[in-house]
Amino acid sequence: MNSALKNGIVGGIMGFVMSFLLNYLVIPFSGTEMANAVGNGMSGLMSGFMGGFIAILVHVRTAGQ
């Protein structure tokens, strides 16, 4: 349980950073609601991918020990 919480926090922080950077640097707020929704959707996709990817890497590394 302790390991799951640590991994979840690390994945959450990585997702936050990725989402923040994507929204701030790559897809800034736009004038229309639809473009903003698409930008947020892409940000969620990338942050979810990064969180899952980091979780798999941590699992593989800890399971091998």
Q: Band the pLDDT of 30: cuts 50, 70, 90.
A: low
Contact (CB, 8 A) for 17 and 46: no
Tally helices (H) and strands (E) across the chain: 2, 0
Between 53 and 26, where is the model more confident? 53
Is the pLDDT at 63 greater than 80? The verdict is yes
How many CA atoms does the CB half-sphere of 12 hold within 13 Å?
A: 6
